[in-house]
């Protein structure tokens, strides 16, 4: 009986990635070619197996594994969604004459400030987090437009966030009563404009109140 020859292998079609139907077709095509090379090798004596065929099979396996790895990462984030940040609590609030450090539910969330007074706000995550984030302040007061600012922050290795500095250097406010939100956004999903931050998914916000005195 003459030696069996490897079967011809059809060239794979070019597939656009990440469409559900096309993704399945791509994997099917890749694994079908790997199966075809394997079947051909089974009926060909080892000593006569063409080196090019064996090398091509190894290459196709590597391609299939790479595609599978990418798909696992893609499927872990359906729709391109971003992993959410943990919830955060206000654990320290300083400003003016007030310095409060306590359990989250016990904190007096109102500061009486004069122009130029420093504030220090510390937020602690419910679970350790190493996620990169962007920090914004959003100040709201009845009858006034929201005031927003993207601010620098210190982030600990476990994910605790501290914002500190003179209030008027962080966000420019008129005298009066304000609700201030510290808003945390995943760095890879934060909007370019801080004014849009409250409308974004996956943000975490913690608030406190400020009574800002007039200059005098």
Confidence (pLDDT) at 80: 44
Domain range summary for the chain, segments of one domain joined by +: 20-80, 88-212
Cα–Cα distance between 184 and 205 in angstroms, integer? 6
CATH architecture of 88-212: Sandwich (2.60)
Per-residue pLDDT tens digits of the chain, which is 216 residues long: 555 555 454 444 433 344 445 444 544 554 455 455 545 444 444 344 455 555 555 555 555 555 544 443 333 344 444 567 999 999 999 998 766 555 555 566 889 999 899 999 999 999 999 999 999 999 999 999 999 999 999 999 999 999 999 999 999 999 999 999 999 999 988 887 777 888 888 899 999 999 999 987
Cα–Cα distance between 81 and 202 in angstroms, integer? 9
Confidence (pLDDT) at 10: 44
In terms of Cα–Cα distance, which of 147, 152, 206 is closest to 176? 147
Confidence (pLDDT) at 142: 94
Confidence (pLDDT) at 188: 87
164 neighbors 156 (Cβ within 8 angstroms): no
Confidence (pLDDT) at 41: 46
Confidence (pLDDT) at 200: 84
Confidence (pLDDT) at 216: 76
């Amino acid at each position: 009986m003459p030696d069996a020859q490897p079967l011809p292998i059809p060239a794979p079609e070019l597939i656009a990635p990440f469409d559900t139907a096309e993704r399945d077709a791509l994997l099917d095509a890749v694994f079908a070619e790997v199966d075809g090379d394997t079947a051909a090798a089974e009926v060909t004596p080892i000593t006569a197996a063409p080196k090019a065929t064996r090398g091509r099979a190894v290459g196709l396996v590597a391609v299939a594994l790479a595609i599978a790895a990418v798909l696992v990462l893609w499927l872990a984030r359906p729709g391109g969604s971003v992993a959410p940040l943990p919830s955060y609590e206000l654990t320290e609030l300083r400003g003016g004459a007030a310095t409060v450090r306590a359990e989250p539910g016990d904190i007096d969330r109102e500061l009486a400030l004069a122009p130029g007074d420093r504030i220090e706000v510390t937020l602690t995550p419910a679970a350790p987090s190493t996620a990169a984030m962007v920090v914004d302040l959003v100040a709201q007061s009845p009858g006034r437009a929201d005031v927003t600012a993207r601010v620098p922050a210190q982030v600990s290795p476990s994910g605790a966030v501290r914002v500190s500095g003179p209030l008027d250097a962080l966000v420019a406010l008129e005298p009066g009563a304000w609700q201030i939100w510290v808003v945390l956004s995943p760095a890879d999903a934060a909007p370019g404009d801080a004014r849009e931050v409250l409308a974004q998914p996956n943000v975490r916000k913690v608030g406190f109140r400020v009574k800002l005195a007039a200059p005098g």
